[in-house]
Amino acid sequence: MKVGIITLGCDKNTVDSERYLAQLSDFSAEYTSELSDADVILVNTCGFIDAAKKESIDAMIEAARFKTDGRCQAVVAVGCMIERHKQELLEALPEVDLFLGSSEMQRLVPELTERGLLGEMSEDLHPGVRLYTGELPHVRYMKISEGCDHGCAFCAIPLMRGKHRSFALDEVVREAQLLELQGARELNLVAQDLAHYGRDRRDGNKLPELLEALVAETSVPWIRMLYLYSAGITDRLLDVVAREQRVLPYLDMPIQHGSDPVLARMRRPERKRTIRERVQKFRDAVPNVAIRTTCIVGFPGETEEQFEELLEFLEEIQFERVGAFTYSPQEGTRAAEYADDVHEAVKRERLERLTELQRSITAERYESRLGRTALALVDRTNPENGTSQARLPWQADDIDGVTQIDESLPPGTMAEVAVEEVVDDYDFQASLIRVTLPIGAPTRSKASRQLPISQVTIGSYGR
């Protein structure tokens, strides 16, 4: 059986999809990137905002088309949107054969087996918990916890993913070692809030201890933190980031707004003062840190004055990058009970104004990095014109622009470069100084902890 997969939404869904494919491969399933050749198509959905829900529905309908235009025998919709809206989707999309929410994934193999679509369990089990299908095997995402305990008024993630559950430190380290053996040179740590890691386990291991363990037990050159609330910026964490060169000076810290009344209505744990203080504390401890954030415009009750306050706050703080989106009410959340009183046209206009402001801030922040040398990770090569597409430490995969290098180098190569020019506000031009880590070069003589020899099931990792 051949299986294709469509993954939507956040990087945490990417991790889940890799685990689902690895589990199916133990039953003789073979991954195909051509959906027209797939016997089964999995659609891993996102239900965070309305636009994501529409994209998920469109993907399910598109996948079902291959039941007539390809060889598909079953379309399976899984993930966050299914967890929240399964009953409505069962009625609305009869062309989808199976709906499984995030909490039901232990049923995936039995359901496909019952339909005669899976073979016998392989004697030679897949050696890891994940099966990579992307274009950049040197860039991997690793989920360190599941669920969320924050009570943000606008967010349905706790309703889709449940309460926060941290994965055991040893399990996370072993997974990192496996990813390293598969060629990872950048590990992106993901969770709903990285700073909550370990609070529920009561074994003394929190995010700083996890970072130290990953540095000690792997040789992955880049370890990047994605999505960490400002409340989790502790002196202990700052000490680790400042001390460990392989923990990148990069922080993805969502603030959502810059007006205290709006933050209060959002039920966010921070206020302007605490955000300001923690950003400054991080910049004092790690001078070259790049900080990315996320904002919502058009939240119920947001006045023009409060939106202007957000713009002023962004101008004051000078984040390197800002991801912004317009508010849409999500069923079951506290904010869905509020009057959605900001007109859609006003939301779009505010989004455009914020985006334009941040474009100029980013350009200015990036200009300040010119004339420096930096380490670059090559993602793609261009032998035709003798260049490479890479990223610098302050450029996360897929969201922070790219850097063009004036030499053709294999993907996965790490090189020291001179940063020379900002291109189109978000990208850089750089020249090669020297290769510091060629592709294929050994980075570690041996793993100091025993790697797992058996498959972790879909039901593991807090599901």
Number of alpha carbons in the 13 Å side-chain half-sphere of residue 130:
27
> H/E element holding 209?
helix 207-217
- For every residue of 142-188, DSSP letters joined together read EE-EES-----TT--HHHHH-S-EEPPHHHHHHHHHHHHHTT-SEEE
Q: Coil, strand, or helix at residue 295? A: strand
What pLDDT score does 378 carry?
96
Helix, strand, coil percentages, rounded to 5, for the chain:
35, 20, 40
This prediction has a pTM of 0.83
Per-residue pLDDT of the chain (463 residues; tens, 9 = 90+): 899 999 988 888 888 888 888 888 888 888 898 999 999 999 999 877 788 888 999 999 999 999 999 999 999 999 888 988 888 899 899 999 999 988 888 899 889 988 888 877 765 554 456 777 788 999 999 999 988 888 899 988 888 788 889 999 999 999 999 999 989 999 999 998 999 999 899 899 999 999 999 999 999 999 999 989 888 899 999 999 999 999 999 999 999 999 999 999 999 989 999 999 999 999 999 989 999 999 999 999 999 999 999 999 999 999 999 999 999 998 889 999 999 999 999 999 999 999 999 999 999 999 999 999 999 999 999 888 899 999 999 999 989 999 999 999 999 999 999 999 999 888 999 999 999 988 765 554 333 333 433 333 333 333 2
User: Strand pairing of 74-79 and 290-297?
Assistant: unpaired
Residue 313: both structure tokens together: 């706050």
Amino acid at 391: R
HEC profile of 217-273 = HCCCCEEEECCCCHHHCCHHHHHHHHHCCCECCEEECCCECCCHHHHHHCCCCCCHH
Rounded Cα–Cα distance for residues 226 and 229 (Å) = 10
Q: Nearest-5° angle of CA 266, CA 270, CA 274?
A: 150
What pLDDT score does 459 carry?
34
What pLDDT score does 453 carry?
33
**CA-derived radius of gyration, the chain:** 22
